[in-house]
Amino acid sequence: MDRSNIILNVLRLDRIHPTIHGNKWYKLKRNLEQFRREGVGRVVSFGGAYSNHLYALAAAGKHYSLETIGLVRGEICQPLNPVLAFAQQQGMQLVPISRSEYRYKQEAGFIAELRSRFGDFQLLPEGGSNLLAVQGCAEIAESIRWESADRCRIVALCCGTGATMAGIVSGLSAQQQANPPQVLGIGVLKAEGYLQAEVQSWLDNNQCPPGVSWRVEGNYHCGGYARSNSRLKGFLKDFTRFSQLPLEPVYTGKLLFGLFDMIERGSIPAGSEILAIHTGGVYR
């Protein structure tokens, strides 16, 4: 960092709650408030075997006395991995669905079948990403602080569905700063142009005014969602030698890996101040 005169700080959202932490708290917050107002007693959602969303939803279900059902993509292997074991301990009913069925998770016919099986429930999409989640994530902007007003300022975060990023862009836009920071998303899945379009769609749905520059960088997915490569593994190994900041390879690891590489390549202007958002996650 010294060669580029870059300041890099980390906003530790992973510390806001022991189990419902990071961006998942902001995503769930307004949904949970609506569930309580409407008297919802059962919530169904989707996720993979290492889903941070199902982990947080299970914890929220126990805290708010909600019955939760997690539809898990693929087989549920025994013994359960730490994520699913925690979810089950919190009272979540874990139900495996095949990868072919999983593709229909947004289809009305499939959802009707779920209602006939589980009874009445409120459905949360995969990752907890909906408009209420975007509006909840807009509150993250209130916690952003800077060391200097004179530098090029960049808010950076990992990007999986685009909802958290859209929320932060919306929150910063609402502040109407004279010199707003840029927002940089590091995509964690392999789908060229997809996340850029998703963020724009969330911003449009949230009627976000223009004013904040943002983009998604798609070169650091390391092979795809939840995949890794030798460069990422090497970076994470080296990172533990000089920092105690907890990272995992699916989200926050790729964020820091991407930032360090972009700084090394000169893709981030010298003299910039970067605030990296640690969005939480299960460390495994």
152 and 273 Cβ atoms separated by less than 8 Å:
yes
Tens digits of residue pLDDT in 187-229? 999 999 999 999 999 999 999 988 899 999 999 999 998 899 9
Closest residue by Cα to residue 199 from 170, 225, 163, 224:
163
Closest residue by Cα to residue 30 from 281, 251, 206:
206
53 and 45 Cβ atoms separated by less than 8 Å:
yes
CA-based angle 240:24:125, to the nearest 5?
A: 130
Rounded CA gap, 23 and 137, in Å?
7
The number of angstroms, rounded, from the C-alpha of 202 to the middle of its chain's C-alpha atoms is 14
- State the pTM of this model: 0.93
Average model confidence (pLDDT) across the chain = 93
Tens digits of residue pLDDT in 144-180? 999 988 899 999 999 999 999 999 999 999 998 888 9
Q: What is the CATH number of domain 2-17+132-278?
A: 3.40.50.1100
Class of domain 41-120: alpha beta
Asked if domains 2-17+132-278 and 41-120 share a fold, the reply is yes
Query: Span 64-68, mean pLDDT?
Result: 94
Q: Would the pLDDT of 283 be above 70?
A: no
**Long-range Cβ contacts of 252-255 (<8 Å, 24+ apart):** 252/158, 252/278, 252/279, 252/281, 254/158, 254/186, 254/188, 254/220, 254/221, 254/222, 255/156, 255/157, 255/158, 255/186
Give domain limits for the chain.
Answer: 2-17+132-278, 41-120
